[in-house]
Every structure is written in structure tokens, then in C-alpha cells.
């Protein structure tokens, strides 16, 4: 998705995953807990984010910021102080997401001791997205790429449809694990998949 948006000329900021990232509250995984506990003023989160946009190269009135992580506690800042924002989350079946994480890694490096721990962490994050979607807590898009992950034309068309703007086919990329590949590991990873199945069902995927 990042490569596709970049190729399309979208005002996408990717510097959070590069050397010298912006030092604003959204760069810290501790911002959500700090907001929830009242240790960080909600208005300061959005104000500091806005202040740093010009230095990050944002020149348009609209900007797409690739966040490190999602935490629904961020809504304490975004709902009152950035009501015109919109969250886009790219989804696959959570069990395929876990396999893809193991096969290809992730932009955000996390030190997790086991597949069980990784599954619990992923289930927690996706559970918050499920809450946001079910309760309509903030404007958002859930872009499911299960069936188009390895089809550049279909991938571009899917994103074009949800954004309502024409986009080119996705740039060539190494193939990812196909949809449903997790079933081949259903016994070997029974514990981690059991942790992910409830949120998979909430997000509209089959239990088995």
C-alpha cells in the first residue's frame, strides 16, 4: 500500500520508519497509555503533530501519515482536535497476518519472545480496530487485501475504489503468502491461531 500510494503521488509521509523520524507524540508507543491515564494533554498531541508537518515536507492541505502503531486511546486526542481525519487500516485474515509477519518481518521492530506472544499482541491491536469499526468511533476505512495481495492491478483497483480516486496498478513486489495459507499451519500454530480466531471472526473472517 505504501509503495502504491507513493507511486500515485499521494501526500504520504513515511519518515516515521526512517532514520531521524519526527519527534512528535505519535512517534511514541507510550502516547496512547499516557492519554488514557491523563498524563498527556489531548490538544498537545495534535498541536505538536501539526507543528512538525512543514519540516516533514508536508505541503498539501491533506496529508497521509503512516503511523507506527494504532491505539484507540489516540481517539482522546483525534476526535476533539482532528475531527476531519480518517484512519485507513490494511487488513488480511489475522492468522495470515501472523504468518506474513514471520515470513517477511515488519517495518516496526518488536522484541517478542514467541509466536504466542506475537499473536496476543496482534490480537490486542486488531481488537481495537474491531471496536473502532463496530462502534464507529472515528471515520475510517478497512481495506481488505486477502484476495488481491499478489495482483498489482486488483490491488490498485481496490485502493482506488475505497479512496474514490484513480490509481495506477501497484508497483511490482515480491509475492506474499496467499490468502488462507494459515490453514497449512493450523496444527503447528494451534495456540497462536486460537488467540487470533476471535478477533478474526469479529473482522468478518471464518473461524476455520
The string of pLDDT tens digits covering residues 181-202 is 999 999 999 999 999 999 999 9
pLDDT band at 6 (very low <50, low <70, confident <90, very high): confident
| Residue 38, Ramachandran bin (φ over 0: left; ψ between -120 and 50: alpha; else beta) | left
> Can you name the residues that pair with 142 across neighbouring β-strands?
89
Residue 89 phi, psi dihedral angles, 5° rounding:
-120, 130
Report the percent of the chain where pLDDT is more than 90: 72
Q: What angle do CA 112, 104, 120 make, to 5 degrees?
A: 35
Burial class (CB in 10 A: 0-12, 13-18, 19+), 161: exposed
pLDDT band at 7 (very low <50, low <70, confident <90, very high): confident
pLDDT band at 105 (very low <50, low <70, confident <90, very high): confident
- pLDDT value at 176 more than 80: yes
What gap in Å lies between CA 64 and CA 132, rounded to an integer? 19
- pLDDT value at 59 more than 80: no
pLDDT tens-place string over residues 159-174: 888 888 787 777 777 8
Residue 30 corresponds to which cell in the numbers above?
A: 507510550
Provide mean pLDDT across the span 51-78: 92
Yes or no: say if 182 and 193 are a contact pair by the CB < 8 Å rule. Answer: yes
Amino acid at each position: 500500500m505504501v509503495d502504491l500510494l507513493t507511486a500515485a503521488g499521494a501526500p504520504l509521509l513515511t519518515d516515521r520508519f526512517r532514520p531521524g523520524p519526527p519527534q512528535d507524540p505519535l512517534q511514541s508507543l507510550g502516547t496512547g497509555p499516557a492519554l488514557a491515564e491523563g498524563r498527556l494533554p489531548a490538544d498537545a498531541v495534535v498541536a505538536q503533530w501539526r507543528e512538525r508537518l512543514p519540516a516533514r515536507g508536508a505541503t498539501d492541505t491533506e496529508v497521509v501519515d503512516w503511523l507506527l502503531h494504532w491505539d484507540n486511546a489516540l481517539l482522546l486526542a483525534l476526535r476533539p482536535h482532528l475531527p476531519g481525519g480518517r484512519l485507513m487500516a490494511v487488513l488480511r485474515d489475522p492468522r495470515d497476518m501472523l504468518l506474513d509477519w514471520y515470513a517477511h518481518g515488519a517495518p516496526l521492530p518488536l522484541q517478542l519472545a514467541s509466536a504466542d506472544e506475537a499473536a496476543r499482541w496482534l490480537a490486542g491491536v486488531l481488537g481495537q480496530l474491531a471496536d473502532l469499526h463496530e462502534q464507529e468511533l472515528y471515520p475510517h476505512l478497512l481495506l481488505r487485501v486477502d484476495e488481491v495481495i499478489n495482483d498489482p492491478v486488483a490491488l490498485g483497483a481496490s485502493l482506488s475504489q475505497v479512496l474514490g480516486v484513480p490509481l495506477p496498478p501497484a508497483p511490482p513486489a515480491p509475492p506474499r503468502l496467499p490468502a488462507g495459507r494459515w490453514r497449512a499451519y493450523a496444527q503447528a500454530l494451534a495456540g497462536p491461531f486460537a488467540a487470533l480466531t476471535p478477533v478474526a471472526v469479529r473482522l468478518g473472517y471464518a473461524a476455520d
